[in-house]
């Protein structure tokens, strides 16, 4: 199966490193022109430069702080203005803070929701007219397995990530008639250490939490995103695709070999 995105234009937020950078490279490698958007100018420029140097496709960097509506509106306008259209939006920007509701400040809460939820809403708000003008397109939001399971002292992140699949379903319903598909990717444990970019960890306790016997790497998520925005997923919308190496299968994240030994 060869994914062909030639002639399409994508915006990827949080693309300076990790999942966002891998996604930008994977989309460009499939032929898309990619606007790399991030608040980290050095990292974002490096991602775009790497894409161009590898001859994978056309890429440019746009500094965008997704807490700012004007920056989001500007990045969408830049992509559409530079390449004459917009077909794909991947809302991946990330910010988190740990704490229980007693420990967190109102500013912590507001910033978490601004980056993790409000930015997805605003990205879509400004992208959808361009997607409609192109005859349709695809939006992918990034959630987390922690939006499905609570974990200690993580109130803003887990609740914000839980909101993303429902926002996705609402957008999929509202814009399906325009040929716009909206889906969620829910990653599990993804190792974003650049030293293990192409060599997943098979040895740690974290690796043993996964039935596949390793932790995830950013390209695992990038491949799933690339599929969802392609024509191979043309009848998929409103979906929440879990990409976690099976980590959420065992009860309460019990390491796989331990759960097998304990089975009756």
Residues in a beta bridge with 99: 154
Annotation marks residue 252 as catalytic: no
Place of tokens 């999929």: 172
Of all helices (H) and strands (E), which one includes residue 224?
Answer: helix 218-228
- Backbone angles phi and psi of 244, in degrees to 5: -135, 15
Active-site residue identified among 126, 157, 175, 252: 157
Distance in angstroms (rounded) separating the CA atoms of residues 24 and 87: 14
Query: Which residues sit opposite 98 in a β-bridge?
Result: none
Q: Are 247 and 256 a contacting pair, CB within 8 Å? A: no
Please name the residues in contact with 186: beta carbons below 8 A apart, sequence gap of 6 or more: 143, 144, 145, 147, 148, 165, 240, 241, 242, 243, 244
Q: How far is CA 91 from CA 55, 185, 210, 222, in A?
A: 25, 10, 26, 12
Q: Tokens 């609570």 label which residue? A: 150
Tokens of 135: 């005859």
Hey, which residues are catalytic here? 157
């Amino acid at each position: 199966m060869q994914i062909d995105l030639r002639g399409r234009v994508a915006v990827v937020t949080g693309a300076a490193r990790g999942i966002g950078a891998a996604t930008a490279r994977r989309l460009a490698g499939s032929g898309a022109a990619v606007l790399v958007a991030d608040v980290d100018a050095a990292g974002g420029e490096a991602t775009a430069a790497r894409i161009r140097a590898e001859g994978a496709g056309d890429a440019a960097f746009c500094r965008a702080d997704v807490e700012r509506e004007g920056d989001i509106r500007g990045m969408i306008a830049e992509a559409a203005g530079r390449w004459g259209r917009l077909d794909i939006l991947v809302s991946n920007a990330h910010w988190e803070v740990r704490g229980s509701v007693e420990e967190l400040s109102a500013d912590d809460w507001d910033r978490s929701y601004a980056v993790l939820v409000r930015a997805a809403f605003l990205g879509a708000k400004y992208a959808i007219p361009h997607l409609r003008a192109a005859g349709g397109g695809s939006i992918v939001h990034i959630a987390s397995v922690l939006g499905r399971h609570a974990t200690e002292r993580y109130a803003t992140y887990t609740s914000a990530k839980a909101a993303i699949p429902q926002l996705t379903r609402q957008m999929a319903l509202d814009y399906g008639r325009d040929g716009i598909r909206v889906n969620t990717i829910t990653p599990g444990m993804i190792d974003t250490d650049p030293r293990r970019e192409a060599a997943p960890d098979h040895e740690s306790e974290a690796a043993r939490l996964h039935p596949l016997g390793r932790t995830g790497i950013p390209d695992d998520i990038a491949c799933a995103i690339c599929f969802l925005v392609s024509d191979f997923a043309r009848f998929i919308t409103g979906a929440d695709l879990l990409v976690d190496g099976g980590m959420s299968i065992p009860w309460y994240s019990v390491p796989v070999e331990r759960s097998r030994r304990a089975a009756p």
